[in-house]
Amino acid sequence: MERLQKVIAQSGITSRRKAEELITEGKVKVNGTVVRELGTKVTGKDRIEVNGVQIEREQSVYFLMYKPSGVITAVSDDKGRQVVTDYFQDIVEERIFPVGRLDYDTSGVLIMTNDGTFANELMHPKYKVDKTYIAKIKGIPEREVLKKLERGIMLDDGKTAPARVKFLSGDKKKQTAIIELTIHEGRNRQVRRMFEAIGHPVLKLKRERYAFLDVKGLNPGEFRELTPHEVKQLRNQAVTQPSKKRGHN
Ligand code: URA
């Protein structure tokens, strides 16, 4: 579901401000009925007319990108730094945006789309989409210390949900370790803060998997379209996860 004025603006016929005016002036119809309410939400199936002419809805597009580190997860940056949408310029016409965010220094799987409903579904905290991260951390943690991450750990913004943790390797000489961490929450800098809280700051971070998707076959900065089946699977996952996990956390 997206706001009517946004959908009108996205069709390219006018700005969002002007679209709001058109709505309040009674010049917009949804499925044949005049709508003057600015908060009105519409889906991809609704027929929208402006001044009696049906608008062209932008096709929904879905991409999986291998975000490199050193790039901002945004569509623009006021300081002129590189943003993820720069990689799609001149290739993809649709106005795409990232689903959620990865830190400037984090690399890995990032989904990009122009479908706001899809993005909201995936990002909604009640939908528990698994995200797997590979972290290179400072020091070599004891098993007991890693268990704290599994149980959930108290951060400034509350206790984290139980996580899955796998010790992959440790380098005694360099005093670093590689840990795989799977979480389904998406709080700001969550993985970095979780490791910080157990005294092992993150040196390097990659999102290895988002649900069942990984970056196999892609180099940093490259992307591919998601198949219709993958989009459907992601949607299903977002919608069915809450009931599956109900009562467990
Ligand atoms: N957690 C983090 O700390 N950083 C990210 O980019 C993603 C998850």
Mutate to test the pocket of ligand 1, among 192, 193, 196, 209 (most ligand atoms within 8 A of CB): 192
Say how many Å lie between the CA of residue 233 and the centre of ligand 1.
24
Say how many Å lie between the CA of residue 187 and the centre of ligand 1.
8
CATH fold of the domain at 62-126+217-240: Alpha-Beta Plaits (3.30.70)
Per-domain boundaries in the chain? 2-54, 62-126+217-240, 131-210
Q: Give the count of beta carbons closer than 10 Å to the beta carbon of residue 46.
A: 16
Residue 39 has what pLDDT? 86
Report the catalytic residues: 103
Residue 56 has what pLDDT? 85
Residue 154 and residue 148: Cα distance in Å, rounded? 10
Which superfamily does 131-210 belong to? Alpha-L RNA-binding motif (3.30.70.1560)
Say how many Å lie between the CA of residue 105 and the centre of ligand 1.
9
More confident of the two residues 123 and 197: 197
CATH number of 2-54: 3.10.290.10
Residue 244 has what pLDDT? 46
CA 131 to ligand 1: nearest atom: 8
Token pair 């479908």: residue: 115
How do residues 35-88 score in pLDDT, each as one tens digit?
999 989 998 789 999 999 999 887 899 999 999 999 999 999 999 899 999 999
How do residues 153-195 score in pLDDT, each as one tens digit?
999 999 999 999 999 999 999 999 999 999 999 899 999 999 9
Q: 217: closest CA among 40, 100, 64? A: 64
Take atom 3 of ligand 1 and give the residue whose Cα is closest: 189
Mean pLDDT over residues 117-127, rounded?
A: 85
Q: Which amino acids bring their CB within 6 angstroms of ligand 1?
A: 102-103, 106, 189-192, 205
Domains 2-54 and 131-210 agree in fold = no
Does position 92 have pLDDT exceeding 60, yes or no? yes
Burial class for 204, CB neighbours closer than 10 Å (0-12, 13-18, 19+):
middle
Take atom 2 of ligand 1 and give the residue whose Cα is closest: 189
CA 183 to ligand 1: nearest atom: 8
Calculate what percentage of the chain has a pLDDT beyond 90.
80
The answer to whether 197 touches 100, Cβ cutoff 8 Å, is no
Kindly report the pTM of this predicted structure: 0.82
Residue 205 and residue 33: Cα distance in Å, rounded? 51
CA 102 to ligand 1: nearest atom: 6
Does position 248 have pLDDT exceeding 50, yes or no? no
Does position 239 have pLDDT exceeding 50, yes or no? yes
The answer to whether 117 touches 151, Cβ cutoff 8 Å, is no
